[in-house]
Amino acid sequence: MLFFTLSGFLITYLLLTEEKEKGKISIKQFYIRRMLRIWPLYYLIFFLAFFVLANLNFFRLPNVPVVKVDDFTTITCFIFFLSNYYLAFFAIFPYAAQTWSVSTEEQFYLVWPWILKFSKNKLLSLIVVVAIVTIVNVFFTSHYSYVIENRIKYYTFWNMFNIDCMAIGGIFAYLLFIKAKILKYIMNKYFFAVIILFIIAELKFEFYIPIVTKYFPNEMWGILFGLVILNLSSVKELKSLLENRLFNYLGTISYGLYMFQGILVVTVMKLAIQINFTNDIFIYTASILLTIVVAHFSYFYFEKWFLKFKHKFTVIKTL
C-alpha cells in the first residue's frame, strides 16, 4: 500500500507541476520516461526467470510447477504487463512473481496522465476514482459477489490493482500542490508522530475497526501512508530524516533491490544448505548484501544506459 500511495503521490505532483510550468502535460513524453525507467529491468527479469532460471535445477523450488517455455499464456501475460492477472488466475511464477506490482503500475499509467490532463476538476476526478474502486471492493466482500464464477480469483486480481491507493496518493499531492488550507492541520511533526504510533499499533495488534477493517482496509492504509508521505516530503523538520547518503543510494538502486531480491535470497539459501551452514544471521546478511551488490551493478551498468536517454524527455525533476 505504501509503494502504490507513494507512486500516486509522486506521479501526480510531477504531472501537475509540468502542467503549471509548461502549460500542458505531454503524455507522449510521460510514457517514454516510464518506458525507459521500467521496461528494461522488467523484461530482463522475465527473460531470466522464464528462459534461464526455469531450466536450471539449482533454482527449482519444491511443490512449485515448472513453467514451460511454450506456455503462450504466460508469455503473453508478462509481455503485456498482465503479470498481476497471471498471478491471480493461474499460478505463482518463480522469480518473476514480484513483477505483479510493476504490471499494476503500468496499468495505472495507462489512465492517469489522461485523467489529469483532461479533468477540469482534478480533485473531484481523483475522488471519483477512489469511490469507484471502493464500491467494487465492497461488492466483492459482500454476499452479492458469490454468484460470480471464479470470484476469489477476480477479487485477488482486484486487490492487486491498488489504483485506489494511487488515487489517494494523488489526492494528497493535489492538496499539497494547491497549498490547501487543511494542510496546516495535518502537516506538522506532532500529527506525524500520532500517525506513526497509530500505524505501529495497528500493525502490531491489528485492531478491528468496525466497517473500516472489513470494507475499506486499502483506503485506510492509503490515507495513513499518504499522511506519512505528505509530512516526510514537505515538513522541514521531517525531511531531513530521509536525506542522507545511504538512503539516497538505496533509493537510486531500489528498483533493482525489489526485482532481484527473490532470486538472490533463494541463491543464498540453496548455497547455505549445500555447505551445511544454515545460520539465520548468515542467510539474512548475505542475502541483503548480495542483493545490494547485484542491484548496484544492475543500475549503474544496465538500467543507467537506458536512463541516459530519459533526460531528453524529462520536464520536471523529481521532488
Residues 223 and 268 in one domain: no
3-state secondary structure of 188: coil
Residues 176 and 293 in one domain: no
Residues 25 and 124 in one domain: yes
Residues 67 and 120 in one domain: yes
Residues 221 and 286 in one domain: no
Residues 229 and 263 in one domain: no
What pLDDT band is residue 111 in, cutting at 50, 70 and 90?
Answer: very high
pLDDT value, residue 270 = 93
Residue with cell 502504490: 4
Residues 104 and 180 in one domain: yes
pLDDT digits (tens, 9 = 90+) for 147-201: 898 899 998 898 888 889 999 999 999 999 999 999 999 999 999 999 999 999 9
Judged on CB neighbours under 10 Å (0-12, 13-18, 19+), 171 is: buried
CA 227 – CA 192 distance, rounded (Å): 8
319 is a domain residue: no
Q: Which of 211, 240, 269 is the last residue of a domain?
A: 240
75 is a domain residue: yes
Find, among 2, 61, 15, the residue nearest to 173 by Cα.
Answer: 15
Residues 300 and 273 in one domain: yes
Nearest 10 degrees: Cα torsion 114, 32, 303, 269: 40
pLDDT value, residue 68 = 62
Residues 202 and 100 in one domain: yes
Residues 149 and 198 in one domain: yes
Long-range contacts of 153-161 (CB under 8 A, 24+ apart): 153/88, 153/89, 154/88, 156/87, 156/88, 157/84, 157/85, 157/88, 157/89, 159/218, 160/84, 160/87, 160/88, 160/100, 160/101, 160/104, 161/84, 161/104, 161/107, 161/133
Q: Which of 187, 215, 240 is the last residue of a domain?
A: 240
pLDDT digits (tens, 9 = 90+) for 236-256: 888 878 788 998 999 999 999
Find, among 238, 295, 225, the residue nearest to 262 by Cα.
Answer: 295
> What residue numbers bound the domain in which 289 lies?
247-313
pLDDT digits (tens, 9 = 90+) for 42-87: 999 999 998 899 889 899 888 777 666 568 888 899 999 999 999 9
Give the chain's domain count: 2
Distance from first CA to last CA of the chain, Å, rounded?
A: 20
Residues 155 and 298 in one domain: no
83 is a domain residue: yes
What pLDDT band is residue 143 in, cutting at 50, 70 and 90?
Answer: confident
Residues 41 and 190 in one domain: yes
Determine the residue type at 84: N
pLDDT digits (tens, 9 = 90+) for 195-233: 999 999 999 888 888 888 888 888 999 999 999 999 999
Q: Which of 219, 240, 261 is the last residue of a domain?
A: 240
